Structure 1
Amino acid sequence: MAETHVQTAPIEQVDMAASSPWRDAWKILRKNKLAMAGLAIITFFVAVALFAPLIAPYPYDQGDLVMKNKPPSKEHLFGTDYNGRDILSRVVYGARISLWVGTFAVMGSIIAGTILGLLAGYYGRWIDMLISRIFDVMLAFPSILLAIAIVAILGPSLQNALLAIAIINIPTFGRLVRSRVLSLKEEEFVMAARAIGMKDARILFHHILPNSLAPIIVTGTLGIATAIIEAAALGFLGLGAQAPEPEWGKMLSDSRQYIQKAPWTVIFPGLSIMLTVLGFNLIGDGLRDALDPRMKN
């Protein structure tokens, strides 16, 4: 009996890594030259902050009155301030403070605002009314004035400035998450989860929240830029970082009376604030274009 040989066709290797929204967003983001420029700026300042002890030529609080208000030179590339301290060293260490304040203030706002927004949007009724009215009251005040009031009550310090910035930005994320929850909780996948008896906490954190991450990330990235400006404003008013901490806003405040005699004392800290904020704004705009389905072709 003749044997029948069945020849099977070779199976082609298939890429099992399914395309995900985040991977697609990264592909779009990489094509955005302005977003990549913003990412490069942020990466540069993060590297400066991380390696500040290796980059700074002098201790940031080391002064020499004989060398005060000296223009940029080989010994002091950015010049010196009114106390003879090296401005380059203070700008480098100031990157740590500004990025730390901006990042952690926004993270605190995101956590608190997300929790409140989830509760308000999902449960509604008196919970939504109470939380929404709190947000309305907070938004009725200009953000910087509310931050000044909070720091004035708690006392001027960098930590209190961070807390104030986090508090004033909670309504922004709370209202954003609330609006997302209101639109998502009527979707079929949420209604199906309710029908099978899934607990509210699981529905909120495993179904609704993951589908709300895109606008939170975009708003958070842009919020870091705003938080850095707010921290600089509080520092300029003497309500943020205290001497001898090299916070950029505080450096501007301390040197404003020397702006004509020694303009380099305000140029370099001001330029650092501008570039950092520009970087976060560019990457934030790029993320918005990449993560918003309406912006995709």
Structure 2
Amino acid sequence: MNANGQTADVPVEAVLRTPPKRSVWVDAWKRLKRQRAAMVGGSLVALFIVIGLLAPVLAPYDPTAQDLSHHLQPASAQHWLGTDEAGRDELSRLLYGARISLTIGFFSVVSSLIVGALLGLVAGFFGGWADVLISRVFDVMLAFPSILLAIAIVAILGPGLFNALLAVAIINVPTYGRLIRSRVLSVKQEEYVLACRALGMSNARLLFRHVLPNSWAPLIVQATLGIGTAILDAAALGFLGLGAQPPSPEWGKMLSDAKDYISNAPWIVAAPGIAIALSVLGFNLFGDGLRDALDPKMK
């Protein structure tokens, strides 16, 4: 209504126009950017990823080249982080170790996520004997400490980098399986899922088009946190001699080789230890921030 008391003509388009809906992920990213701890964690994660990808360019020396005449040397202009017991450049081995540790972390989490998600989908959606069987297998696996189960798997398969990756992937399957199962049990009771059932939609289409996409958020958060745990588990296996084998520059193996020289050459222990701590810290901080950003209660 205008100043003269007459009704103003409003275009129909203006009445019907509704503000565009923003994506859930866009809103989550905006909330994530406001969390300083998460941004610090994300920066650490990005730094280690860049280091791993550019290791051949950044490393000043061959990480496996030995020079016994310059072993256990402290930091210098030629070797910024010193040399180890075999005269190998510590900085080069640390940079290449980032590639190995991140590879184990990413691929083990992706593998366990795929297998666990599929098993959890079947258990939660179909229920019955499938749910009982899968849930009992998960319970048995979770009854053992994860690192003890990983050691047992590697002891059966034999030491090696691939077997360590496989063991870390196997021990994390129940975590993702139980998480997706609990989420599916909730989602399948939603009205839109019941409507799709009433319309005769197939189980496969219902699972992968509606149930799984609405169950991804907690899985992504857990996967982000799980990468840090996987790096730590792989380092533990490497420290015990069950992971990467010499002369592979894996952080856990570097710690194992350096433990006998901690008193007279502490730098060869400090470098891989700090790298493991910072990488795990980065993924944990970023995962915690991502969890809060994707939580609808935090809006």
The whole-number CA distance in structure 2 between the counterparts of 1:232 and 1:154 is 18
**1:67 partnered with 2:78:** no
Aligned to 1:104: 107
User: How far is the alpha carbon of 1:151 from its aligned partner?
Assistant: 0.3
Aligned to 1:273: 276
**Amino acid aligned to 1:220:** A
**1:230 partnered with 2:233:** yes
- What TM-score do you get using the length of structure 2 for normalisation? 0.94
Quote the RMSD (CA, aligned, Å).
1.8
The whole-number CA distance in structure 2 between the counterparts of 1:235 and 1:255 is 12
> After the TM superposition, which residues 69-218 of structure 1 pair with which residues of structure 2 at under 5 Å, given as runs?
69-218=72-221
Q: How many residues align?
A: 290
**1:261 partnered with 2:264:** yes
Q: Would the alpha carbon gap of residues 95 and 137 (structure 1) be closer, same or farther in structure 2, given more than 3 Å must change?
A: same
User: How far is the alpha carbon of 1:113 from its aligned partner?
Assistant: 0.3
The whole-number CA distance in structure 1 between the counterparts of 2:106 and 2:56 is 21
Q: Would the alpha carbon gap of residues 8 and 90 (structure 1) be closer, same or farther in structure 2, given more than 3 Å must change?
A: same
- What TM-score do you get using the length of structure 1 for normalisation? 0.95
**Amino acid aligned to 1:233:** A
The whole-number CA distance in structure 1 between the counterparts of 2:12 and 2:119 is 58
Q: Would the alpha carbon gap of residues 8 and 152 (structure 1) be closer, same or farther in structure 2, given more than 3 Å must change?
A: closer
Deviation string, structure 1 residues 224-265 (Cα, Å, up to 9, x no partner)? 000000000000000000001100000000000000110000
Deviation string, structure 1 residues 35-88 (Cα, Å, up to 9, x no partner)? 011111111111111111110000000110010000011100000000000000
Secondary structure of the structure 2 residue equivalent to 1:27: helix
**Amino acid aligned to 1:120:** A
The whole-number CA distance in structure 2 between the counterparts of 1:25 and 1:148 is 38
Q: Would the alpha carbon gap of residues 177 and 7 (structure 1) be closer, same or farther in structure 2, given more than 3 Å must change?
A: closer
**1:34 partnered with 2:3:** no
The whole-number CA distance in structure 1 between the counterparts of 2:52 and 2:240 is 24
Q: Would the alpha carbon gap of residues 254 and 119 (structure 1) be closer, same or farther in structure 2, given more than 3 Å must change?
A: same
**Sequence identity percentage:** 61
Aligned to 1:18: 21
The whole-number CA distance in structure 1 between the counterparts of 2:189 and 2:289 is 30
**Amino acid aligned to 2:293:** A
User: How far is the alpha carbon of 1:7 from its aligned partner?
Assistant: 12
The whole-number CA distance in structure 2 between the counterparts of 1:289 and 1:257 is 43
The whole-number CA distance in structure 1 between the counterparts of 2:57 and 2:271 is 19
